[in-house]
């Protein structure tokens, strides 16, 4: 046995005594005091089994639950429990909730402003069409000219992207990136024709039939009949996309069909009125088919890909459909005279308003709640009615007013969410539960008051049951 071992036998057994560090910033070191080893490690307290120190080290290294120096789930030596919450936690929670409320308020206010812009742009488009027909009655040329303006959709999107996010990509690079909508290899000539042709044809038919209906009916009637496209979208989605069946939406579709029949019956199923109703319903049908096909093939597209797709449709319209206005011109179906005699002011104003409406519809779905966009479209009906009454002095019959109201009511029913019935039942159940609780609280308070008065009189009241 060495001398060191003999000394240790004669001395007291070794121990480890916790001692707070003198300097919290000094590195850990070992000192000797009265035969006991004292270990200080920058503020870590060491127990006899080392568990406390090990816990502190693990929490400090991992940063678990916002660990800071001196944290421990155990009680401190003075008997008080340590608190892991920082002093500014309550302030941060309040600021976070305030920021959430602010964002929600801004989104709602922006949505309401967007509703007004959508309805105003659609009312303006419809009324400018009526004004254009007074001097230039060529609906297909107007539809073709306005559809060509979709080419500007992607440049406007890219400009907004540069202003808001300081986009580093060039327009060509961004255009190629959004071309993945057509496939992994990008846009080829075959995919360009295959994907764009059906949508461009449906787009042209929708606009052309809408303009033809405006030649036969008032703007209010056409805008009301066009709102039936929401019912047709539900029916097609239920049949083609296998969407969930909802009884209330079937009722809304029946109301829309009822409104269409009443609108056609207003003038006795003959003349321009019946033809105008058929054209407006055809426009709503092609619009519904366009939206269902868009959801089927391009439902996961983002706003950049949508802007790319609409600009592509504008190019397709300019390249492939330009022959149709020429054919109509040479066959004297639509004769517009010389280019200098065209009402370019009305045409450009109409095309600009139509472009603004399409931008608001497609961008608004991303920026705010989609239901607000639908409400903006619905508000175009009373907007057009106000303009027709005040400016054109149109007098609506009772049958037309009833048909318009039925169609609008069916449109509102179609805006109900899928879980509206269960949400309504839960709301009614919560109200029914609150009433017995309030009644029980009132009974408890009255019994307490009765007991206090009885004690004051020297008697005790025992309630029955």
137: helix, strand or coil:
coil
Q: What is the enclosing helix (H) or strand (E) of 37?
A: strand 36-40
Candidates 444, 407, 33; CA nearest to 256 is 407
DSSP annotation of 76: P
Q: How far is CA 321 from CA 21, 42, 128, 285, 315, in A?
A: 86, 80, 24, 21, 10
Residues of the chain with pLDDT under 70: 1-91, 269-270, 421, 434-465
How do residues 364-387 score in pLDDT, each as one tens digit? 777 777 788 889 999 999 999 999
Domain boundaries, the chain: 14-80, 111-417
CB atoms within 10 A of CB 361: 18
Q: What is the pLDDT of residue 197?
A: 92
pTM score over 0.75: no
Angle, vertex CA 275, rays to CA 258 and CA 406, nearest 5: 20
Helix (H) or strand (E) holding 446: helix 420-457
Contact residues for 144 (Cβ-Cβ < 8 A; gap 6+):
204, 317, 321, 322, 324, 325
Q: Which residues contact 272 (CB under 8 A, 6 or more apart)?
A: 216, 217
H-helix or E-strand spanning residue 29: strand 29-33
Q: What is the pLDDT of residue 369?
A: 75
Left, alpha or beta for 383 (phi > 0: left; psi -120 to 50: alpha)? alpha
- Any idea which residue has 């056409």 for tokens? 222
The pair of structure tokens assigned to 226 is 């066009």
- Under 8 Å CB-to-CB from 198, ≥6 apart: which residues? 293
Q: What is the pLDDT of residue 89?
A: 54
According to DSSP H, which parts of 11-80 are helical?
Answer: 51-62
């Amino acid at each position: 046995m060495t001398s060191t071992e003999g000394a240790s036998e004669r001395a007291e057994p070794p121990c480890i005594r916790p001692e707070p560090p003198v300097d919290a910033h000094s590195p850990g070191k070992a000192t000797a005091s009265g035969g006991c080893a004292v270990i200080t490690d920058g503020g870590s307290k060491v127990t006899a089994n080392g568990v406390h120190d090990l816990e502190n080290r693990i929490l400090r290294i991992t940063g678990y639950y916002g660990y800071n120096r001196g944290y421990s789930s155990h009680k401190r030596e003075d008997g008080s429990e340590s608190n892991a919450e920082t002093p500014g936690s309550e302030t941060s929670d309040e600021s976070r909730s305030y920021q959430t409320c602010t964002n929600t308020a801004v989104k709602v206010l922006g949505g309401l402003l967007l509703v007004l812009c959508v309805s105003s742009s659609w009312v303006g488009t419809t009324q400018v069409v009526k004004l254009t027909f007074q001097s230039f009655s060529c609906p297909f040329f107007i539809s073709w000219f306005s559809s060509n303006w979709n080419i500007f959709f992607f440049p406007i999107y890219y400009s907004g992207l540069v202003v808001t996010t300081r986009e580093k990509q060039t327009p060509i690079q961004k255009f190629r990136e959004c071309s993945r909508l057509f496939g992994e290899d990008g846009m080829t000539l075959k995919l360009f024709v295959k994907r764009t042709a059906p949508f461009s044809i449906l787009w042209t038919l929708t606009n052309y039939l809408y303009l033809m209906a405006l030649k036969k009916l008032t703007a209010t009637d056409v805008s009301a009949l066009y709102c039936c496209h929401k019912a047709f979208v539900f029916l097609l989605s239920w049949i083609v996309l296998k969407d969930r069946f909802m009884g209330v939406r079937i009722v809304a579709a029946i109301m829309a069909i009822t409104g269409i029949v009443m609108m056609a019956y207003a003038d006795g199923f003959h003349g321009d009125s019946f033809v105008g109703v058929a054209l407006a319903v055809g426009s709503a049908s092609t619009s519904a088919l366009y939206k269902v096909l868009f959801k089927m093939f391009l439902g996961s597209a983002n706003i950049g890909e949508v802007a790319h797709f609409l600009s592509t449709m504008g190019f397709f319209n300019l390249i492939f459909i330009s022959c149709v206005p020429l054919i109509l011109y040479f066959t004297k179906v639509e004769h517009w005279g010389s280019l200098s005699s065209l009402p370019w002011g009305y045409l450009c104003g109409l095309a600009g308003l139509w472009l603004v409406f399409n931008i608001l519809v497609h961008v608004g779905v991303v920026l705010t709640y989609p239901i607000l966009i639908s409400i903006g479209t619905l508000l175009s009906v009373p907007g057009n009615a106000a303009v027709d009454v005040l400016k054109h002095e149109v007098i609506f019959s009772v049958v037309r007013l009833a048909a318009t109201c039925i169609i609008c009511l069916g449109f509102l029913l179609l805006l109900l969410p899928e879980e509206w019935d269960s949400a309504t039942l839960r709301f009614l159940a919560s109200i029914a539960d609150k009433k017995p609780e309030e009644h029980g609280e009132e009974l408890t308070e009255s019994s307490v008051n009765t007991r206090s008065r009885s004690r004051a009189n020297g008697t005790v009241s025992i309630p029955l049951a």
